[in-house]
Chain A
Amino acid sequence: MINRKILWLFMLPGIVLYTGLFVYPALSGLFYSFTNWDGVSPSYDFVGISNYKESFDSIIFRKAFLNNIKFMIVVVVIQTIVSLVLALILAKNSKTSVFFRALYFFPAILSSVSVGLIWSFIYDPSIGLINTGLQHAGLEQLAKSWTGDAKIALYSIAFVQIWAHAGQMMIIFIAGLQAIPGELVEAARIDGATRLQVFRKITWPLLAPSAAIVISYTTIQSFKAFDLIFVMTDGGPNYATEILTTYIYHLAFSNYSFGLASAGSMIFLILLGILTFFQFRALRRDGATG
């Protein structure tokens, strides 16, 4: 019988780290969300729930929330489809497939700040690769202000997000595809099933756990997207790409409204919690969590 005290001793470093780095900051955030602390002054007053009320009343908060939802839907839908299609094309372990897998996975290993800076130059309307390319091809009427036009800026960043992470999700799908027994597909083909039927009746149902992981991960990742937006547009033009994380950052570190920013973070935490809860339920239903 293992001595339980020793087990606790082994767990102690982990508990201390987790408490110091996660539990304590989270509880501090909760505490400060009820204060008017500016992040600098030694003193503050308790303001009850007024920071929460102010967040919900804020025009920018509402814009940021809406942008978050738009960004998440676009990224989740397109990234999942793109990564699935890539996985279906590259599932076989041929040399070409392995090469292209590595190629598509490559953006995932770059830091998102580098990705943001590179794409800022690519998107530049005057000297950027896209608009100059379009001009050389005689298609200047298609040239746009990719991150400067409020109507398309959020989608331009969503494209970069997908470019950077589709390869990563493709790998999860490939792992799922390779776990599907070959004989099932073979038997279906012998029985006369078309490719589409094989996909609908065999591949997709067996791929559901992988899809659930991809969707779940992409949802959280896109909801928390901060670095790309911070680097590429900093929430502009005119709040067109402001999302909750950039809004909270600006409140805390530019506006010195730590209390209000903490309340925003708590709301954000609850929203993420709700999303995660529903996703876990979906995962359970699909049997991905066993």
Chain B
Amino acid sequence: MKTITAKWAMLLAVVLLVSGVLAACGGSNQAADGKVTISFLHWRGEDTQAFQQIIADFEKQNPNIKVDMQTLTSDQYQTTAQAKLTDGSVGDVFASFPGAQFAALSKAGLFTDLSSESFVKNYNASLIDAGKQDGKQLALPYQLVYNQPIYNKAIFAKYNLTPPKDWDGFLKLCQTLKDNGIIPIAFAGGDIGPGQLMNTMVMNNEPSEDIFTKVEAGQAKLTDEFWVKTLSQFKELNDKGFFQPNSLGTKDAAAGALFIQGKAAMLASGSYQLTQNAKQNPELQQGLLAPITVAADQAKYEGVHTSTFMLAVNSRSKHPEEAKKFLAYLSQPEVAAQYANATGQNVTLNDVKYDSPELKIVQEWADKKTIFQPRFTILKAENQKAVTNSIQAVLGGATPEQAAQDAQAIIDQQVGK
């Protein structure tokens, strides 16, 4: 018995010793040769390869700086990044989601003010507002996404259809598609659908950038005309059979499959899906459109954009200058082009040259009048959920008035908190 105890004690001692050594190794980010290691924390695991190349090039130009990239899944990032960033040990340069996460990190004082940095000028000023607070540029949205339906150009051409300019035209277009046995809109009602399509559906019903900010502040209500009308239009699309049957049980991947296979003419998602669709069906000719829910002369916006993957310098960083240097490098148009072409993601910088047809489709939208994604202006996730759930409620059979009232009741509980 004594022998076993001694062995276990020895094992424990070894484990403790090894842990101690490893902990000691992890504690320092300044090597003896003066080389500084900065940490780059983000959630885009799929972009790792592209970033590795960019980092290698950066390190070649800056031999005294080493960039240690760490990625988390987007879910993990939402849940654990804050804690990691708070002690400053990781994420000298980090990415933030716009909306709720940006608000929380900003409240915690984790952003360094970048307003006076020269590289900010490389960005399209109209696309980086999401990273601003109180007039300060705290983060630089790097990726650009248009949150509006994708359409199949070949199907549209076959039936002589063009993206309509008003609501009547949109309904007529859907009816033509339906009459020809095509699902007009593949709608992932079970997950991302309501949160995506609501943006273009509401953008002209209440053409204001802060309508949901007002709703959260108690100055406007979901029972007001703009939202009841939006819900009524969702109901109209559903009742007329313009979504695939039982759309509330359909998830993102299944809705995508209907579009990729040519069974549906439109996919209610966003431009981020273009490259993936093209990979799965290289024959697909895609375009972006937005349902205009009002008469043509009343439409203020043509589409919805989101600038996300907001890059920032951690205010707790021990190496802020090196971190800024890396961010400045990422903010060069050539580097951004390298990133965009390698990942299939559009960027918010000016003068970026895109290679792929999908990226060019998105680029066409840069000159159009678009609004920042209204859903992301809802800062409380619980309120966001109440809003998207009201769409699910009408698709499930509730009246628009009742659904709006139920959602407003939840928001009322949040007002002032």
Contact = CB atoms under 8 A, between A and B. Distances in A.
Interface of B, secondary structure class, is helix
Nearest to A257: B382
Interface stretch (B207-215, B219-227, B240-248, B267-275): B240-248
Contacts of A148: 189-190, 246-250, 396
B257 A250 contact: no
A239 interface: yes
Given A126-B258, A237-B396, A143 B246 contact: yes
Contacts of A238: 389-390, 392-393, 396, 398
Interface stretch (A37-45, A92-100, A273-281): A37-45
B251 A120 contact: yes
Interface stretch (B20-28, B102-110, B173-181): B102-110
B79 interface: yes
Report which residue of A237, A252, A254 has the largest number of chain B beta carbons within 10 angstroms of its beta carbon: A237
Interface string A231-259: 00111111100000000001111111100
B350 interface: no
A70 interface: no
Contacts of B79: 252-253
B78 A126 contact: no
A18 to B, nearest CB: 17
Contacts of A60: 382, 410
Given A40-B104, A59-B413, A233-B190, A125 B396 contact: no
Contact of B108 (A41, A146, A237): A41
B254 interface: yes
Interface in A160-189: none
Contacts of A143: 246
B369 to A, nearest CB: 31
A285 B195 CA distance: 52
Contacts of A145: 245-249
Q: Is the interface of A mostly helix, strand, loop or mixed?
A: loop
A257 B190 CA distance: 25
B182 interface: no
Contacts of B244: 125-126
A256 to B, nearest CB: 5
Contact of A250 (B83, B107, B189, B382): B382
A218 interface: no
B165 interface: no
A112 interface: no
A126 B392 contact: no
A147 interface: yes
B252 to A, nearest CB: 10
Contacts of B86: 40, 42
Interface residues of B, number: 39
6 contacts: A125-B245, A127-B254, A144-B246, A144-B249, A148-B248, A233-B190
Given A144-B246, A236-B392, 16 more contacts: A40-B110, A59-B409, A59-B410, A60-B382, A124-B250, A125-B246, A125-B250, A127-B254, A127-B257, A145-B246, A150-B396, A234-B191, A236-B389, A237-B396, A250-B385, A256-B100
A254 B78 contact: yes
Interface string A110-147: 00000000001101111110010000000000011111
Contacts of B50: none
Contacts of B254: 121, 124, 126-128
A38 B104 contact: yes
Contacts of B389: 236-239
B190 A236 contact: yes
Contacts of B413: 54, 57-59
A237 B246 contact: no
B70 interface: no
A285 B385 CA distance: 45
B380 interface: yes
B332 interface: no
Interface in B42-81: 78-79
Given A124-B251, A147-B249, A237-B389, A251 B104 contact: no
A123 B250 CA distance: 9
Nearest to B253: A121
B152 interface: no
Given A57-B413, A148-B190, A255-B381, A38 B246 contact: no
A234 B350 CA distance: 38
B82 interface: yes
A281 to B, nearest CB: 37
B100 A255 contact: yes
Contacts of A125: 244-247, 249-250
A270 B200 CA distance: 44
A238 B191 CA distance: 11
B175 to A, nearest CB: 20
Which of B83, B244, B251, B395 counts the most A-chain CB atoms under 10 A from its CB?
Answer: B251
Interface string A58-94: 1110000000000000000000000000000000000
A228 to B, nearest CB: 14
B384 to A, nearest CB: 8
Contacts of A235: 385
A60 B382 CA distance: 9
A85 B278 CA distance: 51
B249 A146 contact: yes
Of the candidates B246, B410, B413, the one having the most CB atoms from chain A within 10 angstroms of its own CB is: B246
Interface string B260-287: 0000000000000000000000000000
B251 to A, nearest CB: 6
A263 B23 CA distance: 34
Task: Indicate the member of A39, A238, A253 with the most B CB atoms within 10 Å.
Answer: A238
